[in-house]
Structure 1
Amino acid sequence: MAESESEGDTAAGIPAGLRAALLNCVPQRKDAWTTPPPQGNRPRRSRRPRPDARAGAWPLRRAARRHRARPGARRHPDRDAHQGESLDELLGFVEAMQEGAARVAAPTGPRTVVLPTFNGARKQANLMPLVAMLLAREGIPVLIHGRHDFDSRISPFELFDALELPVARNVDDAGQRLASDRLAILPTEVIHPGLDAMMALRPRMGLRNSSHSVAKLLDPLPSRSVRVVAVTHPEYVDSMGEALPQLSADDGRALLMRASEGEAYLHLRRKAHLQGFANGQGLDLNPASNEDLDWPLSPACEPAANADFIRAILAGAEPLPPRIADQISALRRLATA
């Protein structure tokens, strides 16, 4: 899809070459597919980069080459058949992304849990804010960042409004809210405008691109955070599980988990998937008894009803779902260890 220079500039904040590399992961036009495109968020077979895209992708390629040159780095043996980003590509994307990310001042005490939100509620109440509010009540700071592009889902930002959780104006405001309230919300655009612009291409193209993967790894508080990486499909559990030991090696913390409707809270009925990472080492943070549960799912998707449901749980009028308690326990351990 050809773009004018002015449009390319407004999608800036991210190097043009990196933008080209990200775009190379999806067709440039919806009609460029010879077969129907895959539906939903499922990772797609990586496409061989075009020569012009390879030439323009120097920021990413340079970062990826640095990773391949390091001891222990390896290339995926089945690159042509691999779906989604390879390990080297993912590490290169994250390195380039982090170089351009704004920093939020970390409060004293436990590490700040970073919760991304990009999907919103579809069929059941979104309990990601419940996780954040429970942690904040314990004194564990939480930074939520995200954007919303789905007309078919309820925006998490509408839910924040219903819960009377204000969105911070800038990174300084977010740092002050973390220190005083232990909870802050920022649009991803404030932390990384270029990354946000790449994610905004999804409605226009009808497909995700690699920015949606790396955004889950955005860390505005390096070495003082717990990154929550919530994924939906098994392929991403594998790829993120390969990347996070390296990304957490330098005093990092992360929690890899299966998302519920794409949001960063455990599904209330399914087995927990809670894999922690600390200083490059994996940790099994699953509960001792980890079976499917017969637990009711609230259909309260509308912001007001969803907020009322969350408040009822916080007040003890509704029981705390065991899977939410499991997730809180895992994050508490990572944030305070």
Structure 2
Amino acid sequence: MSGDSEALPSTMRAWLWTTAAGGLEKNLHLSESAIRPGQQLHEDQVVVQVISMSLNPADYKVPEMGLTAKLIISTPSSPGIDFCGRVVAMGSEVKDFTLGQLVFGCLGRPRQFGPLAEYTVCPSQSIAPLPKGLDPDIAASIGVAGGTAYQVLEPPATAGDRIFINGGSGGVGMFCIQIAKILGWHVTTTCSTRNVVLCHDLGADEVIDYSKVDVVQTLKEMGPVFSRVLENVGTPENLYRECHHFLRPGCTFVQVTATITSAARQLIQPGFLGGGKRKLDLVVLASKQSSLIQLGDWIQEGKIKVIIDSTFEFEDAIKAYEKLRTHRARGKIVVHVAEKP
């Protein structure tokens, strides 16, 4: 083992939940003596002392799945997926990092030892070095949203390809617009009136204000011009069913946000019975170190802007989740777990 995990405190401060009935934020409690993770490290694992973490809808959606959640996450559990912090212990096979190194990362999905705590533990391939000069709040906001956007936009477009991104002002959507432009796509997206300027500023070529027009009808009027459709929102409900009117033959409708029921229905309902007539891909994030490194480089180079909606101190984490629940955040919500270096 590189670094003595046993020399670290055996307990930590952490926000914990054992049930999410009635809403995760209503069940969170701050423990001053939670068990610290990583006391018996696997050879490829690292313990990270958390500086900042950011919130994602999956933080509460997965725990609120009831009995299914219990099969996925052991409790008591700390919420969170995305984080930035400092390496404080490493397994024997970890060679790419050093003790004290600043890193950022993504757990991929909610797990027992999420980063709304003083320490988290993860495989070394789930973290990347913090680029020089990058603020920990920004780095902690990259993982889920940036990784998902990067994953669904590969492979790069060819000249003239057009993409429609439903929901350009959300966490994933904002990354999607910017990455799509880097990769050469012509971007059309949707948002509400207050975010039209933001989406244009991020690089969108065309912005549809869903509060003023019928999105599906507007897309139909454009004809089958898009090489990919990326669904981040879940509404309008007929977007996939009608996508053959605006998505080119042989091209793919990519679904990021979907309930289990709606996803199953879309996958099994044939086109002649009212289902979609284009290929459907349901995205499950595969967190990759290479993606984190590329995203960090683009942000450091100024090619991608990360929008922070608001920041909260550790003691105010419940307020952060209440803000997330409003669906009114424009950008990422960050919680400070420890002081920045």
Say yes or no: TM over 0.5: no
* More strand by percentage: 2
Kindly name which structure, 1 or 2, has the bigger radius of gyration based on alpha carbons. Answer: 2
TM tier relative to shorter chain = under 0.3
Could you state the TM-score of these two structures normalised by the residue count of structure 1?
A: 0.25
* More helix by percentage: 1
Could you state the TM-score of these two structures normalised by the residue count of structure 2?
A: 0.25
